[in-house]
Amino acid sequence: MKNVSLVLGHYGGRCPDAGMAWSFTLVDINRIHATAIKFCKCKTGGAPEIQQLLRTGIFPGSVKEPKTGYTLRLLDYYHQERNQGKVFADNFVHVLQQMADPFFASAVPVSSQSPVFI
């Protein structure tokens, strides 16, 4: 498990009943982050996992047990690149891999959950 965990469900506050940490890949404009995520499980803030992700600006890579998320900032940036520069998703993902590790970009894992923007 990674040293940094995202804890969701309480708008930045500490959740008294956070679930187990899941390995999670967060893709943002600056790079692909390997991290962990904890979803709120309490009765007051425990919205569905998808809703907890969306409230924090993360679009899930799947609707069932998401292991990958894309920041809304990244999706907006990709949308602009695609419309203005005709950048294809494969090239865009490769650039993110290069930013994560310029020497071994092909070693940067791409999630088995297909990027939602492809």
Residue indicated by tokens 């890949």: 25
- Global model pTM greater than 0.85: no
- Give the other-Cβ count within 10 Å of 48's Cβ: 10
Between CA 4 and CA 76 the distance in angstroms is 25
Please name which of 77, 76, 68, 71 lies closest in space to residue 34, comparing C-alpha atoms: 68
pLDDT by 10s per residue, the chain, length 118: 456 678 887 776 777 777 788 899 888 888 788 889 888 888 765 688 888 899 889 999 888 888 889 999 888 887 777 777 777 777 777 777 777 665 555 655 565 444 544 4
